[in-house]
Chain A
Amino acid sequence: MSDADASDRDADAGRGGDAETADVDSSASAGRLDSETRQGPPYTESQVIMSTVKVVAPFAFTYGLFVTFHGGGSPGGGFQGGAITAAVVFMIAFAFGIESTRQWLANTVVVALAVGGTLVFAGLGLVPVARGGAFLQYDLLPLPYLDPVKYGMEAVEIVGIAPIVSGVLVGLFFVLARGFNGEGSGPPIGERGYLGSTSEDAEPAADGTDETDETDDPNSGSAGQPATDGGAR
């Protein structure tokens, strides 16, 4: 339960001068700690943001797909298109809450994108090797009626790079946003002891046991503790 607290403490320590001055005094007397008041409720439902994202998201998603699929004829490619597609997921998460987005886009999808893209890229590289050529020698790809070089490159960009980038970026987003609900990650924000004042923070390591089960029950976390993305903006 204390791993998220430990990571919080590390993040505090990484802020250099701020954390240093704050650590001298053990409590909130060093500077005014305004997280509770300033960040407000964990997730604020904003009609303006939700409506805007509802309108913008389809266009941004289409643009991401266009940049990916049309990378051969215009600026762009798999990396840029994958990043734009992942940014659409970020946008939706900021508007409708990270926790509900996490339930909507399951871990299986994220992992399948990243792993599948890597496997496709490696496979497209290894098929010519199996046929006696070099790694990624596109003209040896067995593509009937199609230019193997052109469509091999497009396959690498569309089915290889773009899923890797979008999957990994969305995964990083989710894994970084993990501690925002109280589920399995220590006390929720607002009840958490800051600046290492709780006793749990003294021993950050050696509890790898309670991490696997926290992901299989997404309902329990979102009901009481929505994500805190409203205040981060």
Chain B
Amino acid sequence: MTGATAPVAIDGVGSVSSVTFVTSVTPVVAEISAIEASLFAFVVLTALATAFARDVLAAVIIFGAYSLGMAALYTFYRAPDVALTEAAVSAGVTTVLLLLTLAKTTRIDHEAAFESVNYPAAGAVGLLFAGLAVTMADVPAVGSPDAPVWGNPDVSQWYLAETYARTGVENTVMAVLAAFRGFDTFGEAVVVFAAGIAALIVLRREVFA
């Protein structure tokens, strides 16, 4: 596997340190470890609890725990950039904004802790789950040499090899976001800016504070 990618990577750069990084990484099909399995169980349980909790406040708090579990899972799969975003935006900011919104509404005391199951909705979700489960058979395993990120070295390995030479930063994710796909990122930043304006318009305010 690395034999296939290494010539491409070395042809690309030559003397840059990231070449050693590319050639030294060997994709390994990992067994599911205990940490991974417990994280998965935590995420699935919190997702179900979010869906079934009768009290909206409880659902919001459990949803924050779900996001924290997802952030840990992303870290486990060596995607720290995504994990940071998930932890900061989803577990932190979104939870706070949902709590703020909830605090303005009327809270109803429920006797039951969980929602009763809505069978048509459960059937629809079950069908969607079954459809997704069928496609899971074709998804490559984590670290598999057949995964597109390894099996298509002309694209993914090129970015890993060329990032430092072309941009001067080590973080390939940031280089892709800010340089290689800079125009997309500009669009995303404008979308965030537009979201702030849209909130002002919807709430009929002229100032934030």
Contact = CB atoms under 8 A, between A and B. Distances in A.
Given A3-B204, A79-B85, A211-B206, A34 B93 contact: no
B171 A75 contact: yes
A157 B106 CA distance: 41
B168 A67 contact: no
Interface of A: 3, 7-8, 11-12, 15, 18, 22, 30-35, 38-39, 67, 71-77, 79-80, 83-84, 86-87, 90, 94, 102, 105-107, 110-111, 114-115, 117-118, 121-122, 125, 135-136, 138, 147, 149-150, 153-154, 156-157, 160-161, 164-165, 167-180, 189, 194-195, 208, 211-212, 215, 228-229, 231-233
Given A8-B105, A32-B109, A153 B93 contact: no
Contact of A177 (B83, B100, B185): B100
Interface string B171-186: 1011101110011011
A177 B99 CA distance: 10
Interface residues of B, number: 55
Contact of A229 (B103, B105, B167, B182): B103
Contacts, number: 208
Given A73-B171, A164-B192, A174-B208, 5 more contacts: A80-B84, A135-B183, A153-B168, A154-B169, A215-B207
Interface stretch (B4-12, B15-23, B135-143, B193-201): B193-201
**Interface residues of chain B: helix, strand, loop or mixed (majority):** helix
Contact of A170 (B167, B174, B208): B208
Interface of B: 56, 80-81, 83-85, 88-89, 92-93, 96-97, 99-110, 166-171, 173-175, 177-179, 182-183, 185-186, 189-190, 192-193, 195-196, 199-200, 203-209
User: Which of B100, B171, B207: most chain A CB closer than 10 A?
Assistant: B100
A115 to B, nearest CB: 8
A125 B196 contact: no
Nearest to B195: A168
B177 A150 contact: no
A38 B203 contact: no
B174 A121 contact: no
Contact of A138 (B107, B179, B206): B179
Contacts of B173: 75, 77
Nearest to A64: B88
Contacts of A8: 104-105
